[in-house]
Amino acid sequence: MSLIACINGDGYVNDDRLRRSDSSLSQSSCANAPHHTLILLTLLPLLFNHRSVSCRYCFAGLITIYEYYAYPDNVRPRLSQVLVLPPFQRAGHGAELLRAAYAYCARAYDKGKVIDVTVEDPSPNFSRLRDKVDVENCWRAFPDKDFWLGQWDDTKAAAIREKLLLGKAQARRVFEILQLHALNSRDPAVLRPYRLAIKKRLIQPHKVSPPFSSPTATAVPLRARLRFQAPSYTI
């Protein structure tokens, strides 16, 4: 059974068992870290002493959380670094750290104070891990299939953000995963609208809108604008 310990910007460890088992770690200095920095550590039991009923822990991984201000009086925690040492990888410790970070952000602040929990420049492997954890949390929070079979809108985004602290982009990504799970994948008539909705979302950021529009202006096709026109000379 692993232990999740918390170190804040002052170097304070929040677990009495950890302070008793390793006094040097509890005295560790985090003076260079800002006070809005939080580090969650995953510690695994290494040696258990039956006589003194004490246990020594070894470091397995960490996740850092930075607290950013959000107008007018809110916060937006950001997960910045996630590390699991090679001997302990592929054992579920990364998912455990991510769940602990979500639980801390939901518990440490007043209700409604946290806008969402974001991730700073995630790697592809961490994106897959985040999708897995978020999908599991969303499926437990909204077990009704009708919620996932409907169309995506701001109401569902707000419901997911309120319960699970997910941003709009990540919430929609998780919604599409669970919507595919809830749909009848053997029916092409059902999958076609789902596929077109994803295609529309993917090409939307790449659409270029004109700098200005006039109701009397005539739209010029792109091919006509790019067509080479030879110069004309008058003698």
Backbone angles phi, psi at 51, to 5 degrees: -70, -45
Beta bridge partner(s), residue 118: 78
Asked if residue 119 lies in contact with residue 133, where contact means CB atoms within 8 angstroms, the answer is no
> Looking at per-residue confidence, does 4 or 213 come out higher?
4
pLDDT tens per residue, range 125-161: 999 999 999 999 999 999 999 999 988 999 999 999 9
- Our answer to whether residue 176 is catalytic in this structure is no
Start-to-end CA span in the chain (Å): 92
Of the pLDDT bands very low, low, confident and very high (cuts 50, 70, 90), residue 2 is low
**What domains sit in the chain, N to C, each tagged with a CATH number?**
1-121 (3.40.630.30), 122-204 (no CATH)
Q: Which of 67, 96, 120, 136 is catalytic?
A: 120
Average pLDDT over residues 22-44: 50
Averaged pLDDT score across all residues of the chain: 78
